[in-house]
Structure 1
Amino acid sequence: MAWRIGLTGGIGSGKSTVLEMLREMGAAAIDADAISRAVTAPGGAAVPAIAAHFGAGFIDASGALDRARMRELAYSQPASRKELEAIIHPLVGAEVQRQEAAAEAAGMPCIVYDIPLLVESGRWRAKLHRVLVVDCEPETQVARVVTRSALEPDAVRAIIAAQAPRALRLAAADLVICNQALTLDALRSQVAQVAKTFGLN
């Protein structure tokens, strides 16, 4: 039976970097965010239902979900986020189950689920042996996201405000990696220590 580890953290925390390190250490990685992006990409399984529910204006010229327009709608009309999730989540769940089964069949010692909404959803905890949170100061999150994207600091702060509060994530954690002012080597060392506790080298 594989260890099932839920990995979460706010935007800009370094969660994706930690996931990749765990993958290199022998974990099967299931990235719920990547699956969500795939189902809303051109030709994605969620696109027809999104167009039917929200209108063709929410699909961009490439045939993908217009994320910027949907983000604006979600902030102005919070109920629309739930409506979008009702379309996307069942499709993501089915693909997560498929990848789980493949990892189990391959005899992987550990499955790491990268779940942005782990704390908010409430339904994940019962599936997991441990919850691993990647944490840093909010202003560090802002600086990192501004550096890697075209977003303004206030836009990043709005995204952080819409995510689970930092204190709630930390309260849900069994394990915490503090990714504040760490070099990549220092972060990798922390990840390796944590990984040993669930059967990875």
Structure 2
Amino acid sequence: MNIGLTGGIATGKSTVSSMLVRKGALLVDADVIAREVMLPGHPVLAEVAAHFGQDILQTDGQLDRKKLGEIVFNDPKERLALNGITHPAIRREIRRQMEAYEKSNPEQLVVVDIPLLYESELQSLFHKVMVVYVPRKTQLQRLMERDRLTEEQAKARLDSQMDIEQKKRMADYVIDNSGSMAETERQLDELWPRITRP
């Protein structure tokens, strides 16, 4: 069985994915893959720099995430252009890792953490989709604190994704992460037998 894990920015997907791994799930992390394709020497980074200009690179060839973020979070066309370059490579690697896990560990739950799962219309890849949820107000507050953003900057990032309430409605399973860690863990304990049945 595999599950697509998603949510919104600052809803706590990493916390939930870590809890699932501790319970025995195997994790494919789209964020890790997305960082790997943006490392110096990777053809995807070269293509991104060709489109957005060498200014998005630091002197050592590393991506300047802040500079690229300023461009794509404020211009939907440029965000689409970036996604058009990066997403195909990320999807290929997600599929490769999923298939490798399912072949080597057919009994284990495979969890694939994809922040933009619904936006990228990838739900058909999975048996079920789990959404990590917090209300937008909480999401905004956490994002401002976590990334030291102004309210305006944080709202721009939230607005670049599908609304969290819409994701919640589309989900097969919802984990409400607005309470304590113990409360989140309790929800996963309840769900675990249902998502690991053969």
TM-score (norm 1): 0.89
1:6, 1:54 → 2: CA distance? 31
Moved more, 16-25 or 47-56: 47-56
Please report how far the alpha carbon of residue 76 of structure 1 lies from its aligned counterpart in structure 2 after TM superposition. Answer: 3.8
Aligned residues: 196
* Contact in 2 for aligned 1:110/1:198 (Cα 8 Å): yes
CA spacing shift, 1:152–1:46, aligned 2, 3 Å: same
Match of 1:194 in 2: 191
* Contact in 2 for aligned 1:133/1:169 (Cα 8 Å): yes
Give the partner amino acid of 1:78.
Answer: P
2:56 to 52, 55, 58: 58
Give the partner amino acid of 1:110.
Answer: L
* Contact in 2 for aligned 1:7/1:112 (Cα 8 Å): yes
Structure 2 residue 101 is the aligned partner of structure 1 residue 114: no
1:143, 1:167 → 2: CA distance? 16
Match of 2:29 in 1: 31
* Contact in 2 for aligned 1:47/1:64 (Cα 8 Å): no
- Post-superposition CA distance 1:135-175 (Å, at most 9, x none): 11112112222332222232112211111012320121011
* Contact in 2 for aligned 1:36/1:88 (Cα 8 Å): yes
Identity %: 36
Please report how far the alpha carbon of residue 36 of structure 1 lies from its aligned counterpart in structure 2 after TM superposition. Answer: 0.6
Please report how far the alpha carbon of residue 106 of structure 1 lies from its aligned counterpart in structure 2 after TM superposition. Answer: 2.1
1:76, 1:198 → 2: CA distance? 38
Structure 2's unaligned 5+ residue stretches are none
1:91 to 89, 92, 110: 89
2:41, 2:84 → 1: CA distance? 19
Structure 1's unaligned 5+ residue stretches are none
SS in 2 for 1:8: strand
1:189, 1:195 → 2: CA distance? 10
* Contact in 2 for aligned 1:6/1:114 (Cα 8 Å): yes
1:41, 1:190 → 2: CA distance? 37
TM-score (norm 2): 0.90
Give the partner amino acid of 2:48.
Answer: I
2:193, 2:61 → 1: CA distance? 43
Give the partner amino acid of 1:30.
Answer: V
Match of 1:183 in 2: 180
Match of 1:149 in 2: 147
